[in-house]
Structure 1
Amino acid sequence: MHHMLKEPAVRAAVEALARRLDALTQLCIQIQQIPAPTGQEEGRAIWIEARLRALGLADVSRDELHNVLARVPGRAARPALLVSAHTDTVFAMDTDLTVHPDLQAGRLYGPGIGDNSAGVAALLALAQELAALPPPPVDIWLAANSSEEGLGDLRGMRAVVDRLQDRLGACLVLEGMGLGRIVHRALGSRRFRIRVTAPGGHSWSDFGAASAVHVLAHIAADLTRMRVPIAPRTTFNIGRMAGGTSVNTIAQHAALELDIRSEATVTLEATVEQALEIVRRYQTPRWQRRQVQVAVETIGDRPTGEIPAEHPLVVAATQALRQTGHGGRVDLRMSSTDANIPLSRGIPAICVGVTEGGNAHRLEEWIDPALLPRGMQYLLTLTWWAAGWLGGEGTSPG
């Protein structure tokens, strides 16, 4: 196995990262302490922008969605490499963000510490390393993007790729957790909000009047009886239902949120059509005569796409893991990440992690900080190799 990196300066930088444990851990905590719920990332974005400007990078900017971009000038401008990490978390602005180290278990606990404070920390640490190295073979764009989680619907990454698409040759998407996992297939999903309105009234004196909650319950029951294939794997879930005013009020308003996912675009669309056909049963004159109105709103649309396991970027990610000491299983998988956007547009992309962790999206989320230096060695190795590959300096990582 030959070394993936030929430049002595880059190899030295990779080796030096082994001694950065304390700095990387503190950087994770600094980021985690700035609340950043989806749609409210401004404070974290301003802090990241200041860090990138202090490094002297080119074209540092922050847009109206609070995406922060910077460019590491390469020996060629294109095809450029994009490295990104999402800044938003699932936790509300008033969440207690106290961090709790467990020295015995070797874990660092805190809401959002892994998803995605560690990923953003890796992006900023990468920026620091690249700023101190000779120019890479091609431009490397760094993006701390917003709105990845939940109903953010990958909005931040869409805007980033919209801006850079004509110059991009490949993308690396960073998540804090999942070291050893390589996502190269994008799991597609469609999400809907179904709203019902009805006359409502008093539960005694207006008994018999149409209830929005009752109608929504019928729709939900019908949706749970949808038939989906085992292969390609396809799922659906009613994640939220709400409505009504009080226990003795016939409801005037009710709504649910439906998530549909599939490994295959055709199957995804067929399942969506199955769900919409159920809704249409409640939009007929029969229901309208009872003054029942049912409306459907699309609240999420994550496109599909993939590159094969044999693609040079996937092979290089596997090789870089091995070369930086990862002895565990390499997990090639499909998932729903910011990589969905470039993959859906034919741009090679993978999503990788930089440490191990668990309890994602829970208050007791955790990471293993001891693995952060190895994760950074992996990231710098893979980033520099990908820039060289795009610059025509070699097509095989192994």
Structure 2
Amino acid sequence: MPFVMKPTAVAALLTPLLIGTAHLVQAQAEKPVAIDKRYETEIQNLAKRPAVQSAFKFFMDLEPQTKQDLINLTETPSPPFKEQVRARKYADMMKAAGADSVWLDDVSNVLALRRGKGRQKTVVVEAHLDTVFPEGTNVKVKQKGDTLYAPGIGDDTRGLTAVLAVLKGMEKTGIETDADVLFVGAVGEEGLGDLRGVKNLFKPNGPKIDSYIAVDGDGIDEITHRGLGSHRYRITFKGPGGHSYGAFGIVNPHGALGKAIYYFTQEADKFTREGVKTTYSVSVIGGGTSVNAIPYESWMEVDMRSESADKLNGIDKLLQTAVQRALNEENQMKRSGPDLTVDVKQVGDRPSGRTEPTVPLVQRAMAVAKFMQVEPKLSVSSTDANTPIANGIPAITIGSGGKGGNEHSLNEWWLNDKGYLGMQRVLLVLLAEAGMK
């Protein structure tokens, strides 16, 4: 049901939520977490305010324009490391929506500042500009029934439109905050982008940030408060290469690669069977030129993940040890020619960490979910919130409403199933965190 009600209706709706002193939410593999009563009361009081009720209704009335914004942005390609065209378009949309100042930083993040009255604090609301799809991908939106289909339409173009709609709603209804609000369209969230957009925000000369709300995914129940860290490597063994018969006896990079994979996966299997969930994958391999040629190089790309920094560093050490063991053993087998060498290049380093469920930002997000009559779900994932979490800044990632699926595929889809609830949710979390004048 829509959350646009008269105060009396709000009170009636909240009656069942006021029973008992706390509500519980089950975090993944963790003990139930209580929602502090004061945050429930805070959200209930915010939702009763006339300007907030007006904004709730505005989001509903804005649905046709929000849909058009989603189509326009989706059909503006934003491949990895080439987000500039979409960034400029999004900046123009933010200016038109009424932000006090809008600019692109040196990596093409879009920053739109809406000044608060107190200006003692800055709250970020962010979605990412990039998609996983390479340049040349057909991103034309197709509609079948009430569902929109296109690469990237949900992840995270829908998040961009939700953030934009929240800015529009605040401007339309005259909502003022005590803190500054920085609306951000960030580059480099996906794949080898390695969170470069948000990492740039947290450089020493970056903007002051006190709290961080990332908008990614769909629905209104999930709250990502734990950052899934990852280490990614491209490892290349190199040798002289030569004829499979005439040069026989020289070092073979494929031999070293095979040994490295074997030694690593044997030890990693044992290491990951206990403790915090930690994963590993030899995801891509390549090299060689012909069946009758000893290759001059052999390479692999490896992904390792854990929300525990210690476990992540531990499995990383196993990889490095396996690579050096394989290198030494292959060199000992040579009969002629130079030694094999190895190039170990880290291509991804996403920090891990957590914002504790007792922190006000998480509590407020939980209270908003409960207010909207859904059970809050605390989760772990790899999102733009990883970086602020690792920097000690309270941060979460929440969905943008509606329903979606087939992310990272050409038949990705998004369904506007009461999508306005996503904006209502973002607004309530934001206002609770930024303070409403």
The 2-side partners of 1:163 and 1:8 are apart by 40
The residue aligned with 1:275 is 319
Amino acid at match of 1:233: K
The residue aligned with 2:22 is none
The residue aligned with 1:382 is 429
Say whether 1:187 aligns with 2:235. no
The residue aligned with 1:396 is none
The residue aligned with 2:420 is 373
The 2-side partners of 1:304 and 1:164 are apart by 23
Look up the SS of the partner of 1:371 in the other structure: coil
- Per-residue deviation, residues 112-141 of structure 1 (Å, max 9, x unmatched): 011011011111112212233242111000
The residue aligned with 1:25 is 67
- Aligned residues of 1:78 and 1:169 also touching (Cα < 8 A): no
* Identical aligned residues as a percent: 33
Structure 1, 275-284 or 65-74: larger mean CA deviation: 275-284
The residue aligned with 2:185 is 144
The match for 2:276 among 232, 240, 262 is 232
- Aligned residues of 1:181 and 1:353 also touching (Cα < 8 A): yes
The residue aligned with 1:308 is 356
Say whether 1:113 aligns with 2:153. yes
The residue aligned with 2:310 is 266
Classify 1:190/1:211 alpha carbon distance in 2 versus 1 (closer, same or farther; 3 Å).
same
Amino acid at match of 2:271: V
The 1-side partners of 2:57 and 2:349 are apart by 42
The match for 1:330 among 376, 384, 400 is 376
Structure 1, 297-306 or 342-351: larger mean CA deviation: 297-306
Amino acid at match of 1:363: L
Amino acid at match of 1:114: G
1:204 to partner: Cα distance:
3.1
1:15 to partner: Cα distance:
2.6
The 2-side partners of 1:38 and 1:175 are apart by 17
Alignment of 1:4-83 (within 5 A): 4-5=45-46, 7-83=49-125
The residue aligned with 2:140 is 98
Look up the SS of the partner of 2:79 in the other structure: coil
The match for 2:339 among 291, 298, 302 is 291
Say whether 1:361 aligns with 2:408. yes
Say whether 1:158 aligns with 2:199. yes
The 2-side partners of 1:123 and 1:197 are apart by 47
Alignment of 1:168-187 (within 5 A): 168-187=209-228
1:285 to partner: Cα distance:
8.6
- Aligned residues of 1:72 and 1:130 also touching (Cα < 8 A): no
Classify 1:47/1:166 alpha carbon distance in 2 versus 1 (closer, same or farther; 3 Å).
closer
The 2-side partners of 1:257 and 1:169 are apart by 36
The 2-side partners of 1:86 and 1:332 are apart by 21
The residue aligned with 1:350 is 396
- Aligned residues of 2:259 and 2:326 also touching (Cα < 8 A): no
1:161 to partner: Cα distance:
2.6
The 2-side partners of 1:65 and 1:156 are apart by 7
The 2-side partners of 1:186 and 1:217 are apart by 32
- Aligned residues of 1:28 and 1:113 also touching (Cα < 8 A): yes
Look up the SS of the partner of 1:77 in the other structure: coil
- Aligned residues of 1:169 and 1:347 also touching (Cα < 8 A): yes
- Aligned residues of 2:355 and 2:394 also touching (Cα < 8 A): yes
- Aligned residues of 1:282 and 1:294 also touching (Cα < 8 A): no
Question: Taking structure 1 as the reference length, what is the TM-score of the superposition?
Answer: 0.91
The 1-side partners of 2:291 and 2:324 are apart by 28
- Aligned residues of 1:24 and 1:372 also touching (Cα < 8 A): no
- Aligned residues of 2:282 and 2:301 also touching (Cα < 8 A): yes
- Aligned residues of 1:179 and 1:353 also touching (Cα < 8 A): yes
- Aligned residues of 1:81 and 1:141 also touching (Cα < 8 A): yes
Amino acid at match of 2:258: A
The 1-side partners of 2:278 and 2:233 are apart by 16
Amino acid at match of 2:412: E
The 2-side partners of 1:8 and 1:164 are apart by 39
Question: Taking structure 2 as the reference length, what is the TM-score of the superposition?
Answer: 0.83
Amino acid at match of 2:296: Q
The residue aligned with 2:31 is none
Q: Where does structure 1 lack aligned partners over 5 or more consecutive residues? A: 394-398
Amino acid at match of 1:254: S
Classify 1:93/1:367 alpha carbon distance in 2 versus 1 (closer, same or farther; 3 Å).
same
Classify 1:118/1:164 alpha carbon distance in 2 versus 1 (closer, same or farther; 3 Å).
farther
Look up the SS of the partner of 1:78 in the other structure: coil
Amino acid at match of 1:228: F
Alignment length (residue pairs) = 386
What RMSD, in angstroms, separates the aligned Cα atoms of the two structures? 2.0
The 2-side partners of 1:357 and 1:338 are apart by 19
1:163 to partner: Cα distance:
6.3
Classify 1:163/1:178 alpha carbon distance in 2 versus 1 (closer, same or farther; 3 Å).
farther
- Aligned residues of 2:223 and 2:397 also touching (Cα < 8 A): yes
Look up the SS of the partner of 2:210 in the other structure: strand
- Aligned residues of 2:59 and 2:169 also touching (Cα < 8 A): no
